[in-house]
Every structure is written in structure tokens, then in C-alpha cells.
């Protein structure tokens, strides 16, 4: 017996599809069987399984557990919770050798998917393609695994609170913070966490509801921060934090309602961390501001620009022994005094800690940052078979010029006006463009260069992609 996945489901960083159309219980069962075969082949025998608050998640969880146990792997079911709680369950338990979280992350309510960790490392790219190959060949192993339930929420929250260790909690008693979990899976954990933190906490939408009735759980879209901004303004709070649907990406606003983007948060974390770990390597993806890389250098750290994608960043952290990394998308990774995975709840605690240790409010730190003018992340469709060749064409054309090109992930060109980026998405049939300057005129010149390169490859930005 074999199984074929829909061609759109197996992606670079995870597995994701539309329930009832491209993804269902049979896929979940096949994922369990394939993952189990790979784990047993490397001497593993037990997998933690969790799921988010989507209405389709419990059914997929049942099928996934069935697939794992049918292949002779024991399962620790940790129930509904944020993805980082699953990562914690895998990282903190000596008897667990892998983890699978069922989650659609920040996708619309009719999507779902799987994020995986394998013997302490990210499971992505070639690993996921191997799962597809095993399923297509039906190369599964039969066996009889067991399933047990384990409550890890309390222990996970205990570990989050440790992010404030060494700080005088009395000094934080006047802190007032807003939290918006967007009806996502992080809600119950945030309720438990904030009850343990000093200060005053105002919570929004912590009831888990997979239909997301209040707003879409994607904090990188400023429109989704409107409720949090209103709360911070109404209550005159110090700052606010928001989470995506599965709690591995953070969004933040300061006391004036200004968004603190992923690279700006990393500037705060880096300043705090580099006092403790001088000269450390700090990683950010190619979409991050030049201001971040400059700031890390000023603080005595080693800035490293790397490819976009949470699995790719986590792998690079292990390779370079970096204690801190982040992405524009709000994934923040602390290996310093933590496990190195992306955990938005822990990132929120570390924001409180950084403000306390640096002796400046979040609003003061946001105000001190340079005012760069940048585009949002512009995404425009291109045929799947054309997206990578277009990037290669741009790279070849620029190779014959004196342009300052970073080809880590796509093409990032730096000049006197600032920088522009063009890269192919690993998960969708789109090209991604972004530019940053210190003036509107400079930004226009940069975008003209992007448009020129696209035109030379027979493309143009769609009408939705203006800046």
C-alpha cells in the first residue's frame, strides 16, 4: 500500500494544505508512517505530538498518531497548544526523540499542516521530500507503538517565566502590557503565563477559536494589530505584543502604537544579549534592515545575514553557535539560556527582561531607532518554473557590473540609496521584493532598479505590489 500527496502540500519548511481539498486524514496517517520509518532507522522510538486550535486539527491528530503507532513508534500526546510548547516537549524530555505539531500557522482557517523536529534538529527540505518518496513507495515499517497523554503546559510556562531570572521582580511591578493571541493556540498558555508575571496585564482574544472571529492571527500584517493598538491607547499601556495562530511568531507595538518590526525587536534583544555574550554572532534574514546589521556591529557583535525560513535559520544557528537569531516575519530564536527554537511567548518575556536590564522603556528604545523608509514585503505571482531562473538571470546581469551584491538568498543589492532585494519564495509561486532607503526619492530609485531587472526578464510587478 502506498500514498501520493497532492503536489502542493510538501513544502520547503513544513507540510501545508487546504482541508478537504489538498490535505486530509490519509495524508496525516502517511506522514506518521513515514516519520516513524525514518526515526526508527536512526534509533528513535518516541514522538511528541501536539496540535493547534483549528477545527480540523483533532481529526488530523488522530490519524497522525495512528500512523506513528502502526509503524512501531510510541507517542506522547501533549494536546492543544502553541507550536513552541511542542518544541519544548521534544527538547526537554530525554525519552522523546522527535516532535510533530499539527498547525496551519498564520494561514486562513481552512488550511492546516505539520511542523516537525527530528532528534533535536529541524525537519525540512530534503527530509520532507524523503517523506513523500517513502509514501509513494509504501516503504513503511509495521509495528505496534503505544500512545500516552502528557500534560506539559505547566512545565512549559514554568520554563518561560525563567526568562526573567536575575531581575528584581519588584522593579517590574508598575509594568502594564497588552497581549493579543488572536484566538490562536497560544491563548491558554498566555493566560497562565501572565498570571505569573509581575505588573498589570490586559489580554485580548485568548479563547481558542479556529475560525478566528476577531482578526486573522498574523501579527506581521499591521491591520491585524488594530485591536492591540486600541487597547494600548485606551489603557495607556507601556507596550503590546501579539502572536500568530500557533505562537511561534511575535508582533509588537510600543506605548505610542508604533509597530516594532522583527528586525527592530532583534536590535533590542541584541543589545541586551551582547552585554552578556560579547562578540556573539547574531543572525537575521536577508529581508532585515541594514540598521540592524549596523547596530549589531556597533555593539561589538558579528552580524550574519542568512536565508529566509525558520528551519534554515535554526540550522545556521547550530552551525555557527549563534545565541540569537530572528526574521522579519517575527520568528525569534534564543539559544542563549533557552533551546534555540522560535518561541514568541519566550520572546515576549525576553522583551520585558531586556527593557529591565537596559533601563529603558520599550517606547524609548523604539524612538531611538533610525527612521528608515522601506517598502512592505511585496509579493507578486510568477510561474513556478520561472521564479528561480529569473533570480539567476538578475544575478548574472549584475555580475558584470560594480554593484554590491549579496547572493545569500536571492539578490540583495546595496548602494548609496540603500538596498533592494529580490528573492524567490520557497513555499509559493511568487517573487518577493523589498527595498529600504533613508529618503522617499532614494526608495523610488531603488524600486526603479527592481522594475528594470524584472522588465529585462520579461516580468513586471503587479498592481497590488506598489510601495
Give SS3 for 8.
Answer: coil
255/367 Cα distance (integer angstroms): 11
Q: Beta 418-424 vs 250-254: how paired, if at all?
A: unpaired
Q: Is the dihedral of CA 166, 169, 170, 172 positive or negative?
A: positive
315/455 Cα distance (integer angstroms): 35
Give SS3 for 343.
Answer: coil
Nearest CA-CA partner of 176 in 42, 361, 41, 27: 361
Q: Which residue reads 513508534 in cell numbers? A: 73
Q: On the CB side of 40, how many CA atoms lie within 13 Å of its CA?
A: 21
Alpha helices in 116-173, H assignment, sequence order = 126-137, 153-161
Residue 385: all three cell numbers together: 518554473
305/325 Cα distance (integer angstroms): 10
For residue 402, what is the enclosing H or E element?
none
Nearest CA-CA partner of 426 in 6, 102, 126, 108: 126
For residue 394, what are the β-bridge partners? none
Question: Catalytic residue positions?
Answer: 105
- DSSP, res 359: T
Residue 235: all three cell numbers together: 489603557
Amino acid at each position: 500500500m502506498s500514498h501520493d500527496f497532492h503536489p502542493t502540500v510538501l513544502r520547503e519548511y513544513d507540510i501545508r494544505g487546504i482541508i478537504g481539498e489538498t490535505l486530509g486524514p490519509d495524508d496525516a496517517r502517511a506522514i506518521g508512517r513515514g516519520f516513524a520509518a525514518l526515526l526508527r532507522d536512526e534509533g528513535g522510538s518516541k514522538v511528541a505530538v501536539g496540535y493547534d486550535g483549528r477545527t480540523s486539527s483533532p481529526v488530523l491528530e488522530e490519524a497522525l498518531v495512528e500512523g506513528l503507532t502502526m509503524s512501531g513508534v510510541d507517542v506522547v500526546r501533549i494536546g492543544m497548544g502553541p507550536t513552541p510548547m511542542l518544541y519544548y516537549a521534544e527538547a526537554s524530555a530525554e525519552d522523546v526523540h522527535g516532535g510533530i505539531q499539527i498547525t496551519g500557522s498564520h494561514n486562513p482557517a481552512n488550511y492546516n499542516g505539520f511542523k516537525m523536529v527530528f532528534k533535536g534538529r529541524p525537519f525540512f527540505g530534503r527530509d520532507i521530500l524523503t517523506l513523500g518518496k517513502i509514501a509513494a513507495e509504501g516503504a513503511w515499517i509495521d509495528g505496534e507503538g503505544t500512545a500516552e497523554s502528557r500534560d506539559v503546559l505547566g512545565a512549559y510556562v514554568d520554563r518561560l517565566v525563567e526568562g526573567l531570572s536575575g531581575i528584581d521582580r519588584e522593579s517590574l511591578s508598575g509594568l502594564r502590557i497588552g497581549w493579543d493571541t488572536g484566538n490562536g493556540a497560544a491563548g491558554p498558555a498566555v493566560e497562565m503565563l501572565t498570571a505569573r508575571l509581575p505588573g498589570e496585564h490586559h489580554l485580548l482574544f485568548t479563547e481558542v477559536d479556529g475560525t478566528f472571529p476577531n482578526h486573522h492571527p498574523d501579527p506581521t500584517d499591521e491591520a491585524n494589530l488594530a485591536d492591540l493598538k486600541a487597547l494600548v491607547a485606551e489603557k495607556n499601556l507601556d507596550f503590546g505584543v501579539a502572536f500568530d495562530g500557533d505562537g511561534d511568531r511575535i508582533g509588537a507595538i510600543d506605548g505610542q502604537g508604533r509597530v516594532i518590526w522583527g528586525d527592530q525587536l532583534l536590535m533590542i534583544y541584541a543589545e541586551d544579549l551582547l552585554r552578556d555574550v560579547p562578540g556573539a554572532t547574531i543572525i537575521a534574514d536577508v529581508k532585515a534592515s541594514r540598521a540592524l546589521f549596523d547596530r549589531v556591529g556597533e555593539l561589538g557583535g558579528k552580524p550574519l545575514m542568512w536565508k529566509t525560513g525558520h528551519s534554515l535559520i535554526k540550522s545556521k544557528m547550530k552551525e555557527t553557535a549563534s545565541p540569537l537569531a530572528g526574521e522579519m516575519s517575527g520568528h525569534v530564536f534564543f539559544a542563549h539560556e533557552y533551546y534555540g527554537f522560535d518561541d514568541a511567548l519566550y520572546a515576549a518575556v525576553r522583551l520585558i527582561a531586556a527593557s529591565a536590564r537596559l533601563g529603558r522603556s520599550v517606547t524609548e528604545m523604539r524612538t531611538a531607532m533610525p527612521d528608515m523608509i522601506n517598502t512592505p514585503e511585496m509579493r507578486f505571482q510568477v510561474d513556478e518554473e520561472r521564479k528561480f531562473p529569473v533570480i539567476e538571470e538578475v544575478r548574472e546581469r549584475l555580475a558584470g557590473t560594480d554593484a554590491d551584491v549579496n547572493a545569500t538568498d536571492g539578490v540583495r543589492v546595496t548602494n548609496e540609496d540603500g538596498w533592494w532585494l529580490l528573492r524567490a519564495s520557497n513555499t509559493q509561486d511568487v517573487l518577493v521584493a523589498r527595498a529600504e532607503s533613508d529618503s522617499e526619492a532614494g526608495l523610488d530609485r531603488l524600486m526603479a532598479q527592481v522594475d528594470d531587472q524584472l522588465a529585462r526578464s520579461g516580468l513586471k510587478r503587479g498592481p497590488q505590489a506598489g510601495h
